[in-house]
Structure 1
């Protein structure tokens, strides 16, 4: 960077658009003209975080030096007094990732070089195979393996339930479920029906797919600790890479119960916002993979701390990679993944829709189930504001879940 290049922040733009999914994009512009892109999306609460950024965060950034990433992170975290929480931490993340993008561009280096350089040649991913039946799910898994993926998450419809997590029954996304009346769709849940059906999926998977492919499964927080312990023990013969979100763990000690009963590896963290949400589980080695997303856990600065802390206890990072995270988040996580010595695996559902490709550009490529990170300065991602304006925000929600007697349950 030239010594005369002025990285004083002059503008903070917050753009809410819907190129296939709703995204909250942060664009920070400096006096020199260099700018950075960050993701601050909170699915179903996009306007809350956008308003927080515009009304409360942006005014505090004007005139600051974009190079001072750590000081700005601490200012937005400690200075607000009301710490943590998904809205606050997503706002911090959007700013933080944009600042790392600027710093890389100013240095003429990709962000992973600023973190310490590559620890591997590419970022291993796992893809999703979901189907109406076990056979349908495994057909899709075989197709993914043929494309080069070495790890696959398996989800299938639960017999006897009208809806199941991950199975959209012919619809491309949750927007289609809400086209006429955008309110949270409701889905039924029965633990007994699920537990009676789930083992067959992995028994058949190992028979058809063999032992080399890594298999994952997402419970999506629907079980109690002892039910999750039983599930983990039931699935031990099928050698899962990990069992994800077996229990909603606001009470982190819940994972001690599961760990005491099964050797199936455990993963959690996609809705966590800070290192404090997962501190006990990591330091007690109750989990094997921490799945915090850069967008929801405070950005690259915070994720680097989580990764370093987890490494002390043999816990690997496996960042969340749902389609409601924008390509700016994917880029940030790819740079973290190529650097982190304790990287495990990255969830991958594609780089976005055709509409998303009109709005976001990036230099990430996928080959044989691995993300290859380009060497563009910064994060290698860009955002077209004019294209984004052609895809206005559409109110949308994730579903909610109820037991068959009507009791509200974890979705």
Structure 2
């Protein structure tokens, strides 16, 4: 089962995706997601110029050896570009192995721990009332866990809130540059408690509520927020602060019992090792595309399980259905799975490129028992959606200081 060809596709069906297809000499192939939002071509070059030539002729079944070869052998370990490239290769190899075995990937991991995967959906609006209207709509659709995000009065843009506005990807023209957004912690605090006080009163106690700070606060500010939100019993508070200094979460932890989640920018276990083993967080939110694929995510999940930390994989719209499928197989298997972020796949162009049979019922996701990952990629359709250069926004304080986005 030797590798014959590694193909890399960069397409833009509404936003950019980097997709890998590994073809074996027998004709069986697998697909993987290598998307790194705002740095897509860096990963594509890593794959085409550096990784693909090293894989030709290797046995596609040797997933662990290939993972170690690409991780240790490069010498320059870790990093988002390198790990996204490794992730796509890893997913594609698991896809191949499942197809050869005629089993879904979760069976190769050891089988199911649950019948379906609990999801949390996003409710966001131009003010608190419109956010809660959308939350009620999601409850009617069966979702039992909802992330609440509301625009901040006095700021032109708020993370996670689009309403009728175009997102940053759509706003960029023929020569895009990073859009800039303004942040005010004081104005945020004026809004956020009201959002959850009204949200809990309106939605009741049976709905799980979540919130994403997106690393806008300092640790002591996050401690204040966690304590402020304790009466509203959040499932978790996400990315309260940057944790490049992992000791920062000691400050938050000692002041609040609100559960904490972090990890969507992490690339390896080493990025979150201390946070997990010191039980400074309750949920780890790494993504398969950014953290070394199924193999890398399984390491993180197993380590977290030992320390009573649950998994809650990142599920942003820049992660393709291939990544979502990888998460589904991991989530079905992992005994310490918590919840999966879900934004849906309503983009018509996206579904032209990626064929899948995901279903959602009563706030839970299900996948059919197809061999491998259960997702396919349409090369011909991808050629109709050429790459469009795009950047993530840059955040600044009101005085102009560059801040965390």
Are residues 1:90 and 2:105 paired? no
User: How many angstroms apart in 2 are the aligned matches of 1:56 and 1:180?
Assistant: 29
User: How many angstroms apart in 1 are the aligned matches of 2:403 and 2:359?
Assistant: 38
**Is contact 1:327–1:352 with CA below 8 Å preserved after alignment?**
no
Structure 2 match to 1:24: 18
Return the TM-score normalized by structure 1.
0.98
**Is contact 2:124–2:163 with CA below 8 Å preserved after alignment?**
no
Structure 2 match to 1:109: 103
SS for the counterpart of 2:365 is: strand
Q: Give the C-alpha shift of residue 50 in structure 1.
A: 0.2
Are residues 1:55 and 2:54 paired? no
Structure 2 match to 1:325: 319
Structure 1 match to 2:182: 188
Are residues 1:282 and 2:291 paired? no
User: How many angstroms apart in 2 are the aligned matches of 1:178 and 1:74?
Assistant: 38
Q: Give the C-alpha shift of residue 168 in structure 1.
A: 2.0
Are residues 1:262 and 2:256 paired? yes
User: Where do residues 129-168 of structure 1 align in structure 2 (5 Å cutoff)?
Assistant: 129-168=123-162
SS for the counterpart of 1:167 is: coil
Q: Give the C-alpha shift of residue 262 in structure 1.
A: 0.2
Structure 1 match to 2:58: 64
Task: Pick the aligned partner of 1:8 from 2, 6, 9.
Answer: 2
SS for the counterpart of 2:381 is: helix
Structure 2 match to 1:304: 298
User: How many angstroms apart in 1 are the aligned matches of 2:22 and 2:40?
Assistant: 18
5+ residue gaps, structure 2, are none
**Is contact 1:92–1:299 with CA below 8 Å preserved after alignment?**
yes
User: How many angstroms apart in 2 are the aligned matches of 1:381 and 1:303?
Assistant: 19
Task: Pick the aligned partner of 1:238 from 229, 232, 240.
Answer: 232
Cα RMSD after superposing both structures: 0.8
Task: Pick the aligned partner of 1:364 from 358, 361, 367.
Answer: 358
**Is contact 1:27–1:36 with CA below 8 Å preserved after alignment?**
yes
Are the structure 2 counterparts of residues 43 and 341 from structure 1 closer, same or farther at C-alpha, using a change threshold of 3 Å? same
Structure 2 match to 1:4: none
**Is contact 1:171–1:177 with CA below 8 Å preserved after alignment?**
no
Q: Deviations over 1:333-371 (max 9, x none)?
A: 000001100000000000251000000001221111111
Task: Pick the aligned partner of 1:202 from 191, 196, 199.
Answer: 196
Q: Give the C-alpha shift of residue 393 in structure 1.
A: 0.5
Return the TM-score normalized by structure 2.
0.99
Q: Give the C-alpha shift of residue 169 in structure 1.
A: 4.4
SS for the counterpart of 2:132 is: helix
Q: Deviations over 1:251-293 (max 9, x none)?
A: 1111111001000000000000000000000000000000000
**Is contact 1:363–1:376 with CA below 8 Å preserved after alignment?**
no
Are residues 1:348 and 2:342 paired? yes
**Is contact 1:111–1:335 with CA below 8 Å preserved after alignment?**
yes
5+ residue gaps, structure 1, are 1-6
User: How many angstroms apart in 1 are the aligned matches of 2:237 and 2:153?
Assistant: 21
Q: Deviations over 1:137-179 (max 9, x none)?
A: 0000000010000000000001111110011242243222213
SS for the counterpart of 2:227 is: helix
Runs of 4+ in 1 over 4 A off after TM superposition: none
User: How many angstroms apart in 2 are the aligned matches of 1:179 and 1:320?
Assistant: 28
**Is contact 1:295–1:329 with CA below 8 Å preserved after alignment?**
yes
